[in-house]
Amino acid sequence: MIWNLLLFFLLFVHLSAFSQSIYLDFDLDSEEKCFTSTTTNEKESYPKFSKRIESGNQFFRICSEEFIYQKGSYSEVKMRSDLKISTLSDLYVFESKSKKYGKINDSTVYIMMRNEIDSVFIAEGIDDKLVKIYTVEWIDKIE
């Protein structure tokens, strides 16, 4: 019995050690651009950050990634200095480290283990010192 409890505890500690909360920088005032290729292999640019509201839900887009803050979800204002604010590149690095490999019908597949990211937050700047934190979900799109 004690071995079962010890094994459960070690498994819990192991799983919690790999989950992580990520605060993504979001700046609507930024003039940064993202690029996409058209069907004629020309590059088109568009704003790196955009936001829209539908039925009370807020959709945050950072380049080609989209996140949803559902109406009534958790949000608060925090000091920027109290947080480790990451970029989309940081999120991709973390995600690539959590990639699992497998075989399906003799083909190698890559399975993204986004469940290892405990929580994703959007940190929208209010001013130089304050950010509004939104608990968001990362939207997976199949295109």
Amino acid type, 39: T
Looking at residue 138, what is its pLDDT?
84
Calpha distance 115→135 (Å, rounded): 15
In sequence order, the 6+-apart residues with CB closer than 8 A to the CB of 90 are 22
Calpha distance 109→92 (Å, rounded): 18
8: left (phi over 0), alpha (psi -120 to 50) or beta: alpha
Say whether pTM exceeds 0.75: no
Q: Which two tokens stand for residue 123?
A: 């940190």
Looking at residue 121, what is its pLDDT?
92
Q: Which two tokens stand for residue 70?
A: 């559902």
Q: Which tens digits make up the pLDDT trace of 39-55?
A: 777 888 899 999 999 98
Q: Which two tokens stand for residue 139?
A: 């939207």
In sequence order, the 6+-apart residues with CB closer than 8 A to the CB of 6 are none
Calpha distance 63→34 (Å, rounded): 6
Percent of the chain exceeding pLDDT 70 equals 66
Looking at residue 96, what is its pLDDT?
57
Looking at residue 39, what is its pLDDT?
75
Number of helical H runs and strand E runs in the chain: 2, 12
Residue whose C-alpha is closest to residue 121's, from 110, 141, 80: 80
Residue ranges of domains in the chain: 19-139
pLDDT along the chain (143 residues), means of 10: 43 48 91 84 88 93 90 92 85 59 48 62 92 89 48
Looking at residue 31, what is its pLDDT?
93
Looking at residue 120, what is its pLDDT?
87
Calpha distance 52→60 (Å, rounded): 7
Looking at residue 40, what is its pLDDT?
77
